[in-house]
A and B are shown apart, each in its own frame.
Chain A
Amino acid sequence: MTATVVEASPCRAGAIAQAYELARRSTVNMWRQPQAWAPGLFFPLMLTAVYAAQFAKAIHQPGFPPVDSYLDFVLPASVLQAVAFGATGGAAELAKDIENGFFDRLVTSPVSRVSILVGRIAGSAIFAGFQAGLIMVLLIAFGVTIKGGVASAAVIMITAVLLALGIGGLGLVLALRSGSQEIVQSTFPVLFVLLFVSGTFWPTSLMKGWYGNVARHNPITWIIEPLRELVIEGWSWGSAGRALGITFGLAVFTTSLAFATMRARLRRL
């Protein structure tokens, strides 16, 4: 590990090189463990396929957006769901490093502290972009048209990366505070609930009562709906701006919180 360390007080270029090295390490690690990421691709795709078949007739009802197939409607949801499945992977790895003491060795070595965190979530974020691309290609092969074209596809991909950073950052905060993999992984049911009580799988305009209200005020809905407009209606600066703005804000907020937590943890040492 310390082999990558060049000097005791790293200059900016050194920090970037270290972050790159750590990011590469976490990406390669992830790639080598298909059992860690394969379910995160398989289950969302499976869910997409089943939902498309079971809602084949239900989409022809008043109030449902005009789409050729449920797949058009659900594309952004499939992407975000896959991202949510994998986004805490990097944080869980950090928690594992803390559990087994590797983290302490890392912080006492002169590796830049920033690069430790960046390295950990960059892997998840890069992977999220890859997942988004793969899912879009698959769904296009099954007949989906992204009306907003390449630009919309790019926005979906960037949103996926930003969301992975946002959720990953939150995971880092938990990892740094608890130092326990189990706690980081316990965010999964929370994400699952958030995804479900939203406009992810069904238009919120068709949900009744309090449930509809909750779903309409769920931030996931605010991200999904503009992305969906990009797919089924066409390009719009407004939709792109909303999706990117919200996820960017989230990413900045949680990653800053992660850095602050890191500083607090190191002060306690």
Chain B
Amino acid sequence: MTSGYAVPAGYAVPAGYAVPAGYAVPAGYAVPAGYVVESSRAETRDTVTLVLRPGRQPIAAHRPGQFTMLYAFGIGEVPISISGIAAGPELVQTIRAVGAVTRALCAAEPGQHVGVRGPFGTDWGVGVTAGSAGVEPPGTALSDPAGKDLLIVAGGIGLAPLRPALLTALAARERYGRITVLVGSRSPAEIAFTAELDSWREAGADVRVTVDRAEAGWRGNVGVVTQLIGKVDIDPAATVAFICGPEVMMRLTARALSALGIAETDIRVSLERNMRCGIAECGHCQLGTVLLCRDGPVLDYARARPLLAIREL
């Protein structure tokens, strides 16, 4: 009945605190919008890219690095990054089958319905124009790295959320300096988007791939992705790095780049925690001071490092 409830005296909101500027749960955030699987493409043995067409109403526009909550009918809902850029209102999402929900999503056939909520979270900053600067959470400065060299480092399925950032940069090639893509994978058969690597090269990116385990016929690099860092020419002062992959890989990569002299604020990582809601109300995605669905998943390393340094946080 009381309107305009004031936080009690002892609970005065400190001056420095603000819900991240521009953080707003899109209308209809609580219930999924129906989308129809338009096409399904197998990327690897266990990974599928779905193109989803909105049923009645599309979700709000998204930015590279954001994710949605994808719902498999009656089974469950999981966070999945947007992995591509569609010309229209379609969503491109790449899913690796690891459990009940992701298996069901990977098996979804054209014509089948899935539920979509979102888009949620912070983005990589690539292509973010001045007008949308309000999307940035406080404490990070995820601005568009215009004029800078872009260094994209992916481990496994981590390439999926990085792909729209890369495609955005390649579509405005002259806006950036050198664009380098380093991809690490367990084996050659597990590299996603293999068919596209050459087109990225043609569009002006230096793309290098390494595998943990070589197979017959593999003539490329063998070893972890951090080893590729030594093989490319990096100008630390002019580089902004984007990293996504298993947490250890992100930590080792960020450490190596930091040792080269790239500022921690110029290293961006996309973190992963259990997520049930995507809208800062279930508590599952907490990582110490941050809610990763609201303040992340993309954080700069100055903010992420102290959080990742605490075991079992």
Co-complex (A, B)? no
Could you list which residues of chain A lie within 8 angstroms of chain B, going by C-beta atoms?
none
